[in-house]
Amino acid sequence: MAASLPARILARPAFENAFAARAFVRAMLEFEAALAHAQAAEGLFPGDHARSIAEACATIALDEEELVAEGRRHASLAVPLVAALRERVAASSPAAARDVHRGATSQDVLDTATALCLRPCLDEADRALEAAVRALALRAREHRETPMLGRTLLQPALAIPAGLKIARWAAALAADRERLAEAQSVGLAVQLGGPVGALEALGAKGPAVRHRMALALGLADAAPWHAHRNAWIDLLDRAGLVVLTAGKIARDVSLLAQAEVGEMREAPPRPGVGGSSSMPHKRNPVACAQALAAATRIPGLLATLHAAAAGEHERALGGWQAELAVVPEIAAALGGALDFLETIAGSLVVDAQRMRANLERFGEPSTVHPEAVDEALAGLAAYLT
Amino acid sequence: MAASLPARILARPAFENAFAARAFVRAMLEFEAALAHAQAAEGLFPGDHARSIAEACATIALDEEELVAEGRRHASLAVPLVAALRERVAASSPAAARDVHRGATSQDVLDTATALCLRPCLDEADRALEAAVRALALRAREHRETPMLGRTLLQPALAIPAGLKIARWAAALAADRERLAEAQSVGLAVQLGGPVGALEALGAKGPAVRHRMALALGLADAAPWHAHRNAWIDLLDRAGLVVLTAGKIARDVSLLAQAEVGEMREAPPRPGVGGSSSMPHKRNPVACAQALAAATRIPGLLATLHAAAAGEHERALGGWQAELAVVPEIAAALGGALDFLETIAGSLVVDAQRMRANLERFGEPSTVHPEAVDEALAGLAAYLT
Amino acid sequence: MAASLPARILARPAFENAFAARAFVRAMLEFEAALAHAQAAEGLFPGDHARSIAEACATIALDEEELVAEGRRHASLAVPLVAALRERVAASSPAAARDVHRGATSQDVLDTATALCLRPCLDEADRALEAAVRALALRAREHRETPMLGRTLLQPALAIPAGLKIARWAAALAADRERLAEAQSVGLAVQLGGPVGALEALGAKGPAVRHRMALALGLADAAPWHAHRNAWIDLLDRAGLVVLTAGKIARDVSLLAQAEVGEMREAPPRPGVGGSSSMPHKRNPVACAQALAAATRIPGLLATLHAAAAGEHERALGGWQAELAVVPEIAAALGGALDFLETIAGSLVVDAQRMRANLERFGEPSTVHPEAVDEALAGLAAYLT
Amino acid sequence: MAASLPARILARPAFENAFAARAFVRAMLEFEAALAHAQAAEGLFPGDHARSIAEACATIALDEEELVAEGRRHASLAVPLVAALRERVAASSPAAARDVHRGATSQDVLDTATALCLRPCLDEADRALEAAVRALALRAREHRETPMLGRTLLQPALAIPAGLKIARWAAALAADRERLAEAQSVGLAVQLGGPVGALEALGAKGPAVRHRMALALGLADAAPWHAHRNAWIDLLDRAGLVVLTAGKIARDVSLLAQAEVGEMREAPPRPGVGGSSSMPHKRNPVACAQALAAATRIPGLLATLHAAAAGEHERALGGWQAELAVVPEIAAALGGALDFLETIAGSLVVDAQRMRANLERFGEPSTVHPEAVDEALAGLAAYLT
């Protein structure tokens, strides 16, 4: 099924591609090629077997619909993929064919492929977060002394520097970015455990093979995580935190963009954007909608991830399969959040005059302390150079 | 984005199609055609305008990728669809073009299209549930006197007739089916409210137009539900209940299918199904995995639906958009549940001998009362004729 | 544990009492007394046994802390309760003691007690909803022609009658009320199934005993629902829908109560309410906070309920126990929603002048159609007499 | 409201106490005392004012029910607490009374009090996790060569050393423990921001005051986190991961404890535990039920936390209040998980003979590699000395 159109318009194209069928199949084949190379390097079978396998992985054309149809019959995409790959290798090298997928199991392929598809999303998140923090920190400094109403429980409270609000956004994103990078270094790992996670078929070479694969695939090395998923869940939880911060910023911006408030708004990239099918003059906060929709989805998506965690024995029945299906959607939510952050970082409109007017009308006399902005920005020095 | 492959192998093909891009676009165009016809019938504009619009709806070819790209810029698929449709109609009838989408707003199109795409899924659910109840009720009657261990807290308790367990499954599905049908009759409704839900552009004719559309589209008539979604949520909640019952049955079957228990199992449609990529001889409970994965997803999906419900004013920002994206996934979970139910209804294997052996070994002396099965089946008489 | 203070300040006192330890123990004892009377009435044991048991139920004093401590050791409150009750009865009538809890199991007591505690909450919800619908429908009629800005995606759209917004709230609550009552008539049921749900110890009299108990306890009669919980879940889902509607109304009111908008607000019952610890002059929307907090909790609470549904065999391990713990919290959320609805129904402040001013400043020229209010109120005639 | 009895029997007494009303009030008063001392130390007011305030904090007796009743009227417990404290201080020192709560706001008190109540729970979790890892690692080493069936998708797969399964549990808990400690060092922080998070009333001394408070209270120092909650959420997410691991272990143990499998079980602390109200001879896996119930609740509880995160402006309306109510329940789930881990660590029964018998009957010939156990334990050396 193509993702539904309503889901697609909330998605970030690069993230759609990251988990597209083609990309996922490629990732599964990358796993098989890396597995073969690593075993050959450890002397488990001849190097030309590995080369034959890798050659087949590079050139085999798999029909997505056939893969899905057959995958359904096994509740595993790996079964038909491995069968097709083995057949392909057998055509040129029957001996090498026996070494296809050797020692591995479906979950090894699928977990690793999922990690490989997620990686570019996380890399892009890191870059987009860095840019957003930098841009927002600059805007915060710019509005170091601009007074605006602080608002609590949706009521006017005391004045704050507009820069303080923006600096807090930036600091939150910077902290999210650090947390995400840290979790990625541990949780974005190769999976190699074999049928029951004991890597039994590779004997003493198991850990060395896995280590080689991790290096080759650009993933962390880790003990088999087929049945204990917390490093992985922690990584996805933290991707979720990025989405929640983006949602919080979008909440603020969209409230400030109400016509009656008018203090900030997202500036659309070009005229005509954000229109309505019935009121063409209307300008909708499209990027905010995207971020808020993503933030609305995150609690339910992470809940599924968490619910799937307490799985049965050496491979869960149902839970693990649900987890795999949910990861691309967590990535999609992350992509939506990044789209919003890029819009905001690039073109947030701040109306200092309106801020002053609202403060005079609805606030009470109070002075703002720009030092609070400086303190909030103190931890972001690296972004402000 | 194509739905990820891991999600696709849990999906039911007909349900994939129901929410495919092509089907969703067709549903949006159905809405526009029905809207035009209904307004013409109410004398709001000439009948040939409606015919021009309907003709364009029937023949216009829309590029999915363009629609998505433009839809993203407006957070609405309806904006580009209506623009393209209007342009198309204008080519043959400029006067009719002004009546395209008249009185309606994006949400009208999108909510109605979503309801139209959901309808075949619900119809199929009704049929599949009926068949499953019938088949299971028959199996229950067949095992009216077969004793098996009742088990509580995963420990052996007293004996029950195997038929009682199966009859309870059947009765639960029958009740789910009734609840779903009832909610469908109210909650699967046309949406027509115009920009702010007051149907203002249609004047006194608004309700009559909406009623005509409901009839034409095969949906319930309902007051605009743009901002109050509970009839719709109730419908989806009840679709979720079907998935949970399937999940409960799959839990039981998969536990009974443990080699050490061996009392029931899903019989795969043909040899070779349920294989493993590493242990070809192994037979996995593929349909159970599908149902349990669906049941694992439902709590998070419904949570998103519920979280989106408390939206802002006359159209929510973010929440509504998230809701639209989540509906096809609820349908997908329902589809997975139906696949399982069909498998079970068609081929549940019951090993009465193993039941007796386990009962003797792990249970305590107790007699079973077939009357309990009769009582459990009493409400299912309609299915047993 | 006392519920945490932060949870308590969001709770409705009557709902706290409904699930207080004392009330829950009383409900468990009501079950045991009704069970004894019903069995005696069906001739399963002498009437004086039932009277001895009922007398003990009416007079026994149980120490909450002992009950909890012992209950923990069995993962069941029923075990120590039944033991204490049996001992108490034995003191006066050893023969009757053997008939205590006869034929029943822990889950029978606990499910029924939970239903009994929920009943006053649902009854109170019904009354509060009726009052809220009536009050809001009257306010809607009063503001049939008051123009205000309709707002979509948090931006000004076209004008609507203020009465339309209020009428839609009222209609949503009325529909929620009906749905809840309907589900209550089925799902608020006695539980009587015995150890494995087959009511085996009562032989042919089981259904008759259960029916008598249902009548005596004021609950619906139902087949044992120990393992299939959907009628019960449907009831709680629908209680959740009430909370979501209250949350939606609170969302609207709190947005309209922003100082910059100023079109509606909750009027606190008396001066000094809604103050702040740091800004005593500030008036916070306390009832809105309560409703929005309740609506924030509902998705997660229902998700737990749904996750617990796919339990194992004849009594789930872990899931059912979690479900029991979650029901009082769903009730608490419902109570918070009712508090808000009562505040709003009694004292919603509508500032028609400010509505007109905002409309002129931020809207575009448009007329409102009071007929839309009439249509929205049409279904509420019964509330308006 | 007392927490419902069904919730209480799943709770750990020490964790009940940690969030009891008395403890929460004490924590709020600790905040006020620390705030006064820190400001006096920074020269913001005389030291004897601080002493008067601290003396009052140490001796004031607050009526819980009055606090709750008044707190409800303000949606804040801090309002009545501060008022009572100020009155008490005023009785002895009117001058000092003006310095009560100076510069702070309700959220400062409530967030800090919540963190203070959570701290002993986390400390206890750390100790219990250490003990569980140590005990399980030893059991793993003990069963380094004991063969048992590995099981995937609830079907028999290849043999593994029983020690490998146990070692993986231990390693998962050790990783959870590290993650939790790391998040605690950042996220268990004092909150001090004043009405809008700018700490405006303390001028340049704000950060220094906060730093002193953090030291005095034993919490981390942190920039005001009133509106950006991710460090805090990350901490609670990671507490949730502990519960999920406990749930996974309980899943495995309860499946292995099925009579038909019989390979492991929790050993109850003494005879008579785990009984049934209807089948006294039955032994239920009570600790597993507790852990699985906790794991069933975690997804919904964290979902609420996540949903509350995208709050409005400088203090959220509804979301923050819901978050505060949910934290004690996350702690309760953690407590339930620890109870289970202690039971398992102290008394897990492993039936090696039954493992061999099942392997022979249901498995296929395969040898186990104890080296996999060594590898899994390699990271746990610190626990094995």
pLDDT per residue over B89-112, tens digit each?
999 999 999 999 999 999 999 999
CB pairs under 8 A between A and D: 234
pLDDT value, residue B358: 97
Identify the H or E element spanning A271: none
Answer yes or no: do B220 and B281 share one domain. no
- Give yes or no: residues C42 and C184 share one domain: no
Check CB contact of B152 with chain C, cutoff 8 Å.
yes
D1 lies in a domain? no
Q: What tokens were used for B300?
A: 């998070």
Interhelix angle for A230-256 vs A162-187, to 10°? 160
Query: Are D202 and D259 contained in the same domain?
Result: no
Please give the pLDDT value at position C1.
40
Residue B111 belongs to some domain of the structure: no
The whole-angstrom distance between D340's CA and the closest CA on chain B is: 16
Residues B326 and B339 in one domain: yes
Q: Which contacts (CB < 8 Å, 24+ apart) does range A122-126 have?
A: A122/A180, A122/A184, A122/A188, A122/A239, A124/A14, A124/A15, A124/A338, A125/A177, A125/A180, A125/A239, A125/A242, A125/A334, A125/A338, A126/A177, A126/A180, A126/A181
Query: Which of A107, A278, A281 is best to mutate for the B interface (most B CBs within 10 A)?
Result: A278
For chain A, which chains pass the contact test of at least 3 CB pairs under 8 Å? B, C, D
In b/e form, how buried is each residue of B297-314, taking b as 16+ CB within 10 angstroms? bbbbbbbbbbbbbbbbbb
Query: Over 70: is that where the pLDDT of D1 sits?
Result: no
Q: What is the pTM of this model?
A: 0.97
Tokens of C343: 């505040």
- Supply the residues of C annotated as catalytic: 276, 315
Torsion over CA: B141, B142, B147, B148 (sign):
negative
Q: Is B366 on the interface with C (CB under 8 A)?
A: yes
| Residue D141, number of CB atoms within 10 A of its CB | 18
- In a domain, residue C278? The reply is yes
Instruction: Quote the CA–CA distance of A350 and A256 in Å, as a whole number.
Output: 10
User: In chain B, whose CA is at the least distance from the CA of A27?
Assistant: B5
Give the Cα separation of B336 and B16 in Å (integer). 11
| Residue B227 near residue B316 (C-beta atoms within 8 A) | yes
Kindly state the average pLDDT of the residues C232-252. 98
Give, in order, the Cα–Cα distances in Å from B325 to each of A284, A301, B332, C332: 19, 13, 12, 30
Closest of D194, B199, D121 to residue C277, by C-alpha: D194
D5 touches chain B (CB under 8 A): no
| Residue C1 lies inside a defined structural domain of this protein | no
Cβ <8 Å between A260 and C358: yes
Share of chain C above pLDDT 70, in %: 97
Contact B318 A293 (CB under 8 A): yes
Is residue A29 within 8 A of residue A60, CB to CB? The reply is yes
CB–CB contact B369 C252 (8 Å): no
Query: Hey, of D306, D340, D364, D366, which one would you mutate to test binding to chain A, going by the most A CBs within 10 A of its CB?
Result: D306
Domain co-membership, B170 together with B80? no
Rg (CA), chain C: 25
- H-run or E-run covering A366: none
Across chain D, the runs of DSSP E, i.e. the strands, are 147-152, 155-161, 264-266, 348-350
Average pLDDT score over residue span D28-48: 98
pLDDT value of position D367? 81
Amino acid at C185: S
Count how many domains chain C has. 2
Whole domain around residue B86: which residue ranges? Answer: 6-104+192-224
Catalytic residues of B: 276, 315
Contact C155 A303 (CB under 8 A): no
**One domain for residues D246 and D369:** yes
Q: Taking residues C180-206, report their average pLDDT.
A: 95
What value does the mean pLDDT of chain D take? 95
Q: Which of residues 101-140 of D touch C (CB under 8 A)?
A: 101, 104-106, 109-110, 114
| Cα distances (Å, whole numbers) of residue D61 to A84, A259, D20, D84, D95 | 76, 49, 15, 10, 21
Contact state of C7 with D328 under an 8 Å Cβ cutoff: yes
pLDDT band (50, 70, 90) for residue B272: low
Could you say which of A276, A277, A283, A366 is catalytic? A276
| D281: chain B residues, CB-CB within 8 Å | 364
Strand partners, D149: D159
CB of A309 within 8 Å of a chain C CB? The answer is no
A192 reaches B (C-beta below 8 A): no
| β-sheet bridge partners, residue B266 | B348
| Contact map slice: D 219-248 vs C, CB within 8 A | 247
B209 with B344, same domain: the answer is no
pLDDT above 90 (res D33): yes
DSSP state letters, B316-370? -SSHHHHHHHHHHHHHHHHHHHHHHHHHHHHHEEE-HHHHHHHHHHHS-S----H
Single out the residue in C204, C224, C244 at which a domain terminates. Answer: C224
Domain boundary among A204, A224, A244: A224
The catalytically annotated residue of A12, A139, A212, A315 is: A315
D365/chain C closest Cα distance in angstroms: 31
Contact, D300 vs B303, CB < 8 A?
Answer: yes
Residues B345 and B217 both lie in one domain? no
Do B12 and B46 lie in one domain? The reply is yes
What token pair was written down for C226? 């120990």
pLDDT mean over C187-215: 95
Within a domain: residue C111? no
Is residue C284 within 8 Å of C276, Cβ to Cβ? yes
The answer to whether ipTM exceeds 0.85 is yes
Under an 8 A CB cutoff, do B325 and A275 touch? Answer: no
- Put simply, whether B257 touches A (Cβ < 8 Å) is no
Decide: A1 and B10 in contact? Cβ < 8 Å: no
- Report yes or no on D140 lying in a domain: yes
In the predicted structure, residue B269 carries a pLDDT above the cut 60:
no
Q: Does A332 touch chain B (CB under 8 A)?
A: yes
Query: What mean pLDDT is reported for chain B?
Result: 95
**What value does the mean pLDDT take over residues C179-187?**
98
**pLDDT number for residue C370:** 93
Residue A150 is classified by DSSP as: E
Among residues B117, B116, B245, the alpha carbon closest in space to that of B178 is found at B245
Residue D379 contacts B, CB cutoff 8 Å: no
| Res C280: pLDDT | 66
Q: CA D180 from chain center: how many Å?
A: 10
Which whole number is the average pLDDT over B74-98?
Answer: 96
Secondary element (H or E) of residue C255: helix C230-256
Q: Are D235 and D220 members of one domain?
A: no
Whether residues A317 and B292 touch (CB distance < 8 A) is answered with yes
Q: How far apart are CA B267 and CA C278, in angstroms?
A: 68
Q: Are residues A217 and A75 in the same domain?
A: yes
Least confident of A320-324, B52-56, C282-286: C282-286
Whether the per-residue pLDDT at C195 is higher than 90: the answer is: yes
What percent of chain D is modeled with pLDDT above 70?
96
**Contact between residue B28 and residue B78 where contact means Cβ atoms under 8 Å apart:** yes
Same domain for A171 and A205:
no
Q: Check A313 against D154: CB less than 8 A apart.
A: yes
Under DSSP, the state recorded for A267 is P
Q: What is the mean pLDDT of residues C170-199?
A: 97
Chain A within 8 Å of D321 (Cβ-Cβ)?
A: no
- Listed in order, strand segments (DSSP E) in chain B are 147-152, 155-161, 264-266, 348-350
Query: What is the least distance, in Å, from the CA of B111 to any CA of chain D?
Result: 24
- The nearest CA of chain B is from the CA of C199 a distance in Å of 8
Residues in D closer than 8 angstroms to A368, CB to CB, are: 198, 200
Task: Quote the percentage of chain B above a pLDDT of 90.
Answer: 91
Q: Is D97 on the interface with C (CB under 8 A)?
A: no
Mean pLDDT of C350-360: 97
Site from B160, B258, B278 to mutate, D interface, most D CB atoms within 10 angstroms = B258
- Asked if A35 and A101 count as a contact pair (C-beta separation under 8 A), the reply is yes
> Do the Cβ atoms of D299 and A298 come within 8 Å?
no
- pLDDT digit string (tens) for D135-144? 999 999 999 9
Nearest to C291 by CA among C348, C332, C258, C327: C332
- Contacts C258 to A, Cβ<8 Å: 154-155, 258, 260-261
C213, C192 Cβ separation under 8 angstroms:
yes
Contact D166, D246 (CB under 8 A): no
The CATH number of the domain holding residue D12 is 1.10.275.10
The answer to whether residue B113 sits within a structural domain is no
Core vs surface per residue A327-358: b (16+ CB within 10 A) or e: bbbbbbbbbbbbbbbbbbbeebebbeebbbeb
- What is residue A385's DSSP assignment? -
Nearest CA in chain C to B304: C299
Instruction: Say if A139 falls within a structural domain.
Output: yes
Tokens of A311: 């799985």
CATH number at residue B167: 1.20.200.10
The pLDDT tens digits for D103-132 are 999 999 999 999 999 999 999 999 999 999
Tokens of A149: 């109403």
Question: Residue with structure tokens 């006096």?
Answer: D40
pLDDT digits (tens, 9 = 90+) for B216-257: 999 999 999 999 999 999 999 999 999 999 999 999 999 999
Instruction: Tell me the pLDDT of chain A (385 aa) as tens digits.
Output: 458 999 999 999 999 999 999 999 999 999 999 999 999 999 999 999 999 999 999 999 999 999 999 999 998 999 999 999 999 999 999 999 999 999 999 999 999 999 999 999 999 999 999 999 999 999 999 999 999 999 999 999 999 999 999 999 999 999 999 999 999 999 999 999 999 999 989 989 999 999 999 999 999 999 999 999 999 999 999 999 999 999 999 999 999 999 999 999 998 655 666 667 776 667 899 999 999 999 999 999 999 999 999 999 999 999 999 999 999 999 999 999 999 999 999 899 999 999 999 999 999 777 888 999 999 999 999 999 8
